[in-house]
Amino acid sequence: MTVPVLPAAPVEDRAAEIEALVARTRTFVREVVLPVEDAHDGDVEAAGGETLRVRLQAAAREAAVLAPHAPVEFGGLGLSMVERAAVFEEAGYGLFGPLATHVAAPDEGNVHLLDHVATAAQRERFLAPLARAEVRSAFAMTEPAPGAGADPSMLTTRATRVDGGWTISGRKWFITGADGAAFFIVMARTSGEPGGAGGATMFLVPAGTPGLEVVRHVGTVDRAMLGGHCELALTDVFVPDDDVLGGVDEGFRYAQVRLGPARMTHVMRWTGAARRAHEVAVAHVAGRRAFGSRLADLGLMQQLIADNEIDLAATRALLLEACRALDAGGRASKETSIAKTFAAEALDRVADRAQQMCGGLGVSTELPVARIARELRPFRIYDGPSEVHRWSIAKRAVRAIAGDA
């Protein structure tokens, strides 16, 4: 199908438009989002949950910063991956910022996937309300052992062909945003066996479909994600043929449409959060005196500051390289794996150093640093653990250099 593209515009006009959007997003997050987040220590449910989402997104729409990545036909700007980088970083400066501006996972990634894969009817039924922030969604792939996790080929949830469609049975967990989602994109096996290549299909499953149950919230350290990370049970869930997303047995291929860009938008958002932790810490050590001078003038403190600056700059450089490769139409598997692995670890280091710089305040609720570190830590695991990405990066290097099959 044809993917909508932004009308041609002079480069300088487009650059100015993005720059203005970055500035508006920065102001919106600082003036509207941070006071709410700070008052509730980054706990989205304590801050109001779904009611908060509706309120913040209404304010974002008024400020012209809502869903700028969404397709133009649904009121977005259709931002490219490179164009998203600075905008999403400003949104991520506040833990509630991505939710408020509707660029949070999993909805942002699902908008991207549906925009590239959905049929015309699916665009109207699923993409349109999601892009306009009228509903939330979830992406259901991960399963309890021995099912799909870091190795998606272990997919065990099974879809069986029946008259007029499919029935799906299986178990999913760590499904972000599941509680309150209006629909789910469910990965299920339509052929082959767990551990084999291929054989997966994506299905669009509205909430409330008989046999689909949100069983529980899996307790996790992070608290800023609306809808939690949930366990799902699917028992003979019927999905009509019209709600198959993409081709049958093509699910893993379509997943790449979503996963590479989604990893990079995670990097963008978390760069913003890590930058806030760093800036708070630098302001603290610049104003705190000990041992006869400002903390910021001590050599060991300057090393922490410099290392944070280096990690933030290197993260942005690798991110933009991967985004350019994605915008050029490639899968950019190598570039996105490198950027994701480096960023997840570098940004975790930034937050950790920021805590150290702030001393006791760094592990308190008096500053946002501790909660940012809390929320950032899982990024080294989800969207591919660092170890799995390193394995993949190494395999590609050996194949390219030594010619291994």
Q: Are residues 397 and 259 in the same domain?
A: yes
Q: Are residues 394 and 264 in the same domain?
A: yes
Domain harbouring 308, CATH code: 1.20.140.10
Task: Indicate if the pLDDT at residue 6 is higher than 80.
Answer: no
Q: From 211, 245, 279, give the residue that closes a domain.
A: 245
What is the pTM (predicted TM-score) of this model?
0.95
Confidence of residue 12 (pLDDT cuts 50, 70, 90): confident
Name every residue whose Cβ is closer than 8 Å to that of residue 376 and which is 6 or more positions away in sequence.
270, 273, 274, 347, 348, 351
Write down the pLDDT at residue 3: 38
Task: Indicate if the pLDDT at residue 266 is higher than 70.
Answer: yes
Domain extent for 37: 11-104
Task: Indicate if the pLDDT at residue 228 is higher than 90.
Answer: yes
Q: Are residues 272 and 389 in the same domain?
A: yes
Q: Are residues 279 and 322 in the same domain?
A: yes
Confidence of residue 405 (pLDDT cuts 50, 70, 90): low
Tell me the average pLDDT across 256-265: 95
pLDDT digit string (tens) for 98-142? 999 999 999 999 999 999 999 999 999 999 999 999 999 999 999
Helix (H) or strand (E) holding 229: strand 229-240
Task: State the Cα–Cα distance between residues 221 and 231, nearest whole angstrom.
Answer: 16
pLDDT digit string (tens) for 308-351? 999 999 999 999 999 999 999 999 999 999 999 999 999 999 99
Report the percentage of the chain scoring pLDDT > 70.
Answer: 98
Confidence of residue 9 (pLDDT cuts 50, 70, 90): low
Number of structural domains found in the chain: 3
Alpha-carbon torsion 55, 58, 63, 65, what sign? positive
Helix (H) or strand (E) holding 151: none
pLDDT digit string (tens) for 49-103? 999 999 999 999 999 999 999 999 999 999 999 999 999 999 999 999 999 999 9
**Phi, psi (deg, nearest 5) at residue 216:** -170, 165
Q: Are residues 49 and 86 in the same domain?
A: yes
The answer to whether position 5 is within a domain reads no
Work out the mean pLDDT of the chain and round it to a whole number.
96
The answer to whether position 125 is within a domain reads no
The answer to whether position 263 is within a domain reads yes
Domain harbouring 179, CATH code: 2.40.110.10
Write down the pLDDT at residue 400: 94
Task: Indicate if the pLDDT at residue 376 is higher than 70.
Answer: yes
φ/ψ bin of 208: left (φ > 0), alpha (ψ from -120 to 50), beta (otherwise): left
Q: Are residues 369 and 284 in the same domain?
A: yes
Strands (E), 99-228: 137-140, 158-162, 165-176, 183-189, 200-206, 212-217
What 3-state DSSP class applies to 244? Answer: strand
